[in-house]
Every structure is written in structure tokens, then in C-alpha cells.
Amino acid sequence: MKRPKKKRRVRNIPFNKIVPNMITSGNVLCGVFSLIMTYQRHFIPSAVLLILAVFFDYMDGKVARSLGGSSAFGEELDSLADALSFGAAPAFLIYAKYIDIGGGMPGVLATAFFALCGVLRLARFNVTHVKGSFQGLPIPAAGMALASLIIGGIPLTPIIASAVMTALGVLMISAIPYGNLKLLRKSNVNKVKSLVIAAVMMSCIVILREKSLMAMIGIYIASGLLRFNWGAWLAINPEVEEEPAHEKE
């Protein structure tokens, strides 16, 4: 006689795991909408959507930690979202705005190279856990750097645009250390230095306006090349922040 089949129990997903993944989905949607805006040649809205994706990328990790809802599924979803919003979408945006057919095959290769390096950067981050600083330029920073060129209205030739994407791609897969501000805790932040940074950022926004984002991202990129660790500089006790960077970028 055939044994009666056991009914599979449907496990309800805990609320604390659903919320972070919903926020990550906002990151995915921003990437998709950005691609659509680029296709329709609405470049500024496309770039703004990529900046909004950074907000979702930051908040999903923050909410997951506060609710204790981190999961392997969430980590994989976050990497896929970042590959779309900070890899493919900004590369396509720069290609459509500055390169297009006039850039020829070098422009196509530079665009593909940036996206590929972003994916490689994410894959390495997922399997290699190092203490303290990020290894290589984080892909959200690289994506914001490209978006800031659009928002700042910077005129670029196809050759220069291709060179910028190539350089950012190399920085992503490099071993250059970049400060990990997500390791900072409220109890271990130097308030005076934080106020100084806030004042500098506000000054950039007031003086440079639409070019302020490009300036701030440029400073962050240069800090890695100069081996300047923002996280350690802002921390009251840097040794407390030297813990494994298992959190997402």
C-alpha cells in the first residue's frame, strides 16, 4: 500500500526578515527605472534614481541589523541589486550620454569592463572577509561617481568617459583599502570630527551645488589612493572598529 503523502508545512517568513528584503527591492526598482530613463534619454532623472538606490542600499542593512533580520537570502539579494543599480545601470547611463556609437568598440569595451569589475568586486566581497577597511573601491561609490558626472553636467568626450569607467573598474578590483564608515558606532564616533565633515559637506553643497556630489565622491576615491582611513579617523578608539566586515557594501 502507498503511504499517504505528508503535507508540507509552509513556514511563515518572520517579519524582521521581510522588511530588509523589501527595502532591498527598492534598490532593484531604482536600478530598473534608471535603465528605462536612460533608454528614454532622461539622463538627470536616471542619475537621481541611482543616488536614491544608495539610500535603499544603506537602509536595508541598517534595518536588518536593528531588527536582527540578516539572512543568507538577503545578502544574495543585496549583491544582485547592487550589480544592477551600481554596475549595469550607471555604465549604460554613461555610455548613452557620452559615448554612444561615436565611441566605437573601445567605448563598448569600457562600459562592459566597468560592469564586469563591479560584479567581480561583489563576488570577492561575498567570499573574502577582511578586517576594517574595504578591499577596493565599493561598487556603490563607483556607481555614484558616474551618476555625479551626469548630475554635475560635466562635458566628456567618448575617450575620456571610457577612460573614467576603466579607471573606476580597476579601482574596484584593486587591493586599495577604502574606509568602511558602516563599522562606526555612535558610542565610538568623534563628534567634533563628525561636525567638521558635516560642515565641509554643507559648504560643498552651497558653493558647488550640482557638482558637490562629484567633489565629495572624488575626495573619497582620492582618500583610498592616499591610504587615508575615514573610519579610523572618525573613531575615538580605532581598535574597536577593526572587526570583520561581514556586512554588505
pLDDT score for 137: 95
Q: What is the pLDDT of residues 8-49, one digit of tens each?
A: 554 566 666 777 888 889 999 999 999 999 999 999 999 999
Is the pLDDT at 6 greater than 60? The verdict is: no
Nearest to 173 by CA among 249, 121, 248: 121
CATH top class, domain 16-241: mainly alpha
Domain boundary assignment for the chain: 16-241
Q: How confident is the model at residue 186 (pLDDT cuts 50, 70, 90)?
A: confident
Percent of the chain whose predicted confidence (pLDDT) is above 90: 57
pLDDT digits 0-9 by tens, 44-92: 999 999 999 999 998 887 777 777 667 777 788 889 999 999 999 999 9
